[in-house]
Amino acid sequence: MQGPQLDAERALARLREGNRRFVDHVISLEALLSHARREDHARVQRPFAVVLGCSDSRAPAEFVFDQGLGDLFVIRVAGNIAAPSQVGSIEFAVEQFQIRLVVVLGHSNCGAVRATLKHCLAPADTSPALHAIVDRIAPGISPLLIDHGGDAEGCMPRAIRANVQATIRNLRAQSDYLRYSELQGGLHIVGADYDLTSGAVDFFETKSTFSDAPAELSGWVESIVPSTSV
């Protein structure tokens, strides 16, 4: 029988430890053995953290944090943005698996962030689908171009982190349930910046700036989220 879900502090510590192993080129025995337990994982899953990360092929969360099958509920999209489908996926995981830690994971040399900075400097015609990504990233990072005199490459490190912080703000703004869970249920939303060269992840927190969620939200999610595992 599985024990209680990890709280946010212990879940974060587990991710930090896993990333240290990754940096040191070590793979844990637990992560390796999880592959041999596919049959068990097929029946039930119990991830201990949600990771909203970028689709970049160099930033797979399970590798970066040295975790095995069934450990992480991972959502990947170019630029680690918070579009409605990503918000809904996080809501589902937090409610369904009682997860207490959500990590928004950005990374160095992010192509989506770089493309957005270039678009801010010289807007170009592109598809509506690509605009849906760029338009979500631009508000959080375009002011940095002024600080850096229009130098897109020069502001990339700050832009990566600013984009993560903007995504966290958007998660809270778009989801009454996530706001309520932070205030009442022990949920912790954390930002992180992954360095492609060193392999190290730098965690940082974005403080809440919203007011208290209404009490009637306490049973809200049960009406929209089915009680079945995926």
Give ∠ CA 127-171-164 in degrees, rounded to 5.
75
In a domain, 143, yes or no: no
Q: Which domain holds residue 12?
A: 8-107+165-210
How is residue 51 written in tokens?
């990771």
Q: What is the CATH number of the domain that holds 88?
A: 3.40.1050.10
What is the domain count for the chain?
Answer: 1
Q: Is 101 strand, coil or helix?
A: strand
Per-residue pLDDT of the chain (230 residues; tens, 9 = 90+): 456 789 999 999 999 999 999 999 999 988 887 877 777 778 889 999 999 999 999 999 999 999 999 999 999 999 999 999 999 999 999 999 999 999 999 999 999 999 999 999 999 888 999 999 999 999 999 999 988 899 999 999 999 999 999 999 999 999 999 999 999 879 999 999 999 999 999 999 755 554 444 444 444 444 544 444 44
What does DSSP say about strands 49-53 and 201-205: parallel, antiparallel, or unpaired? unpaired
How many CB atoms sit inside 10 A of residue 42's CB?
A: 10
How is residue 109 written in tokens?
């040399």
With contact defined as beta carbons under 8 Å apart, do 213 and 183 qualify? yes
Paired residues of 52 in beta bridges: 75, 104
In a domain, 221, yes or no: no
Instruction: Look up the pTM and report it.
Output: 0.88
Q: Which residue in the block uniquely carries the two structure tokens 């502001």?
A: 155
